[in-house]
Amino acid sequence: MAVKNSASAHAKRSRRKDAGAFSLIPKLLKNPKTAMALALLFIDALLISFIIAYVPYTKIDWDAYMSQVSGFLGGERDYKNLKGDTGPLVYPAGFLYVYSAIQYVTGGQVFPAQILFGILYIINLGIVLLIYVKTDVLPWWALSLVSLSKRVHSIFVLRLFNDCFAMTLLHAAMASILYQRWHLGLIIFSAAVSIKMNVLLYAPPLLILMLQAMNISGIISALAGAALVQIVLGLPFLVSYPIEYISQAFNLGRVFIHFWSVNFKFIPEPIFVSKEFAVSLLIAHLVLLAFFAHYKWCKHEGGLLNFLCSRIRSYFSTSSSSLPKALKKEYITTTMFVGNFIGIVCARSLHYQFYSWYFYSLPYLLWRTPFPTLLRVFLFLGVELCWNVYPSNSCSSVLLLCLHLVILWGLWSSSPENPCVSDKSLSRKDK
């Protein structure tokens, strides 16, 4: 009898599990955004397969990547001697590990590498759609915009740029932070930086968010974890040729070729490459960050200076204000995306692959402006059009700059958000 009752109970539990699994699908499909996201992933997977099969691959940096990786695998640790067709290696050590793995898996062949990048594209798209669904800013139909870029599809599966890995990791870091997993997010963020330094454009808004959400011990341990990632990845080079590694991999003063500039092609080349132009853009970048931090991100704390002073005081007190706080997902995403977009607007040169740095944030940013829907779509399509003009010219770069400035003005015109969900303390694992 006991055996019979046990078997009956087990059967009931199994039926409940099966019923729960089947009921999950209708629940997912009841949310139009979830259904739209799943449909986009399926359709885009088919599109990626078609592109890989029928659209010719474009040779740009792949051979240079493989040459640099071969030198590293051959035992070379002097960054100045790791070279390819396009010149010396200028990316941090994480790049070498990623492309060494790709070379091992693909044998350095393009077609299997395209398949890997196609899978990476879908993973990245899935993470981005998760961010969009969780933040609930766009209407369901506008999610389709993140799949409509001809240029971004090309960047992933026809060019095989390292930007793809860097941005996928960046989006994964953001997703972790949305779930208040700050330490994990900082580790993933640091891994993204180790592949390409453009991810540092997200660092200023990320620091503001950390100051708002975490206590002093949490900030120090999270930053220590991020620093440790850089040290561990760069260790083979730091112990052998540290100066060469740091100067090459973290060179912030590189001057890009004027011909490839998509955003400032209308600027005469002598001015474009001048130090004065670079300094002017850097000042504009810092001023815009300061203004947004003061009037937008820290508005509810009385402005940037008042916020910083209050945080410093709280770190030396035992009051509840020093405890970590849960930030709204929408606020986190808006702050991160806007901070990066400010860097994009002020970048001296945007090459074609750099479009992946902010394309996936464009729909979100546009729906954070007070503009009507038709204007938002027009601005999105206008930016996409500019990035598909090859080679770029004065007209396309002027138009792109104007569109960027209009979007930036719309973001400035929007109302500041209240960052906190509540003042309730988070559990220790979320600090």
Q: For 48-104, what is each residue's pLDDT tens digit?
A: 999 999 999 988 899 999 999 999 999 999 999 999 888 889 999 999 999 999 999
7 lies in some domain: no
Number of domains in the chain: 1
Q: How far apart are CA 419 and CA 410, in angstroms?
A: 19
Check residue 133 and give its pLDDT. Answer: 95
Can you tell me the distance from the alpha carbon of 75 to that of 71, in angstroms, rounded to the nearest whole number?
7
Residue 2 placed within a domain: no
DSSP 277-319: HHHHHHHHHHHHHHHHIIIIITGGGTSHHHHHHHHHHHHTS-S
- Which range (38-42, 165-169, 176-180, 297-301) has the least confidence? 297-301
Kindly state the tokens that stand for 273.
């490459």
Q: Does residue 424 sit within a domain?
A: no
- The predicted pLDDT at position 344 comes to 98
pLDDT band at 327 (very low <50, low <70, confident <90, very high): very high
* Lowest-pLDDT choice from 51-55, 102-106, 306-310, 363-367: 306-310
Q: What is the mean pLDDT of residues 12-26?
A: 54
pLDDT attached to residue 80: 92
Cα-trace Rg, the chain: 24
In a domain, 356, yes or no: yes
Residue 326: helix, strand or coil by DSSP?
strand
Contacts of 423 (CB under 8 A, 6+ apart): 320, 325
Strands (E), 11-145: 83-84, 87-88
- Give residue 314's pLDDT band: very low, low, confident or very high (50, 70, 90): confident
Report the amino acid identity of residue 250.
F
1 pLDDT above the threshold of 60: no
The answer for 240, left when phi > 0, alpha when psi is -120 to 50, beta otherwise, is alpha
What are the residues whose beta carbons fall under 8 Å from the beta carbon of 139, sequence distance 6 or more? none
In a domain, residue 425? The reply is: no
pLDDT band of 431, cuts 50, 70, 90: very low
**pLDDT tens column, 259-288:** 889 999 999 999 999 999 999 999 999 999
For residue 187, give its domain range.
Answer: 32-317+325-413
Quickly list DSSP for 18-57.
Answer: HHHHHHHHHHHHHSHHHHHHHHHHHHHHHHHHHHHHHSPP
Average confidence (pLDDT) over 294-309? 91
Cis before 324 (ω within 30)? no
209-235 pLDDT, tens per residue?
Answer: 999 999 999 999 999 999 999 999 999
In the chain, the amino acid numbered 421 is V
Average pLDDT of the chain is: 90
Region at 392 (left for phi over 0; alpha for psi -120 to 50; beta for the rest)? beta
Instruction: For tokens 């009921």, name the residue.
Output: 23
Report if residue 12 sits inside a domain. Answer: no
Pairing verdict, β 420-422 and 326-327: antiparallel
Q: Encode pLDDT of 376-426 as tens digits.
A: 999 999 999 999 999 999 999 999 999 999 999 999 999 888 787 644 444
Q: What pLDDT is attached to residue 9?
A: 52
421 three-class SS: strand
Query: For position 7, what pLDDT does the model report?
Result: 52
Amino acid at 419: P
CA 89 to each of CA 28, 85, 222, 269, 356: distance values in angstroms, whole numbers, following the listed order: 46, 10, 29, 25, 21
Contact between residue 245 and residue 238 where contact means Cβ atoms under 8 Å apart:
yes
Higher pLDDT, 372 or 11: 372
**Which residues, other chains included, contact 303 with Cβ-Cβ below 8 Å and sequence gap of 6+?**
294, 295
Q: Which residues contact 30 (CB under 8 A, 6 or more apart)?
A: none
Q: Residue 136: which region, alpha, beta or left (left: phi > 0; alpha: psi -120 to 50)?
A: left
With a cut of 80, say whether residue 22 has pLDDT above it. no
Give the number of other Cβ atoms within 10 Å of residue 392's Cβ.
23
Buried b (16+ CB within 10 A) or exposed e, 33-71: bbebbeebeeebeeebeebbeeeebeebbbebbbbbbeb
Residue 429 scores a pLDDT above 50: no
Q: Is residue 45 part of a domain?
A: yes
Query: Could you give the 3-state DSSP secondary structure of residue 416?
Result: coil
Element (H, E) at 390: none
Average pLDDT (352-368) is 97
Per-residue confidence at 194, pLDDT binned at 50, 70, 90?
very high
Residue 113's closest CA among 51, 178, 49, 160? Answer: 160
- Determine the pLDDT at residue 430: 46
What's the pLDDT band for 8 if we cut at 50, 70, 90?
A: low
Tell the residue number behind the tokens 């898996």, with chain if given.
Answer: 105
List pLDDT tens digits, range 133-180.
999 899 999 999 999 999 999 999 999 999 999 999 999 999 999 999
Number of Cβ atoms within 10 Å of the Cβ of 114: 23
Sign of CA dihedral 398, 403, 406, 407: negative
| Residue with the two structure tokens 């660092």 | 203
The answer as to whether 24 is a domain residue is no
How far is CA 175 from each of CA 117, 124, 342, 375, rounded to the nearest angstrom? 21, 11, 21, 28
| Across 6-35, average pLDDT | 61
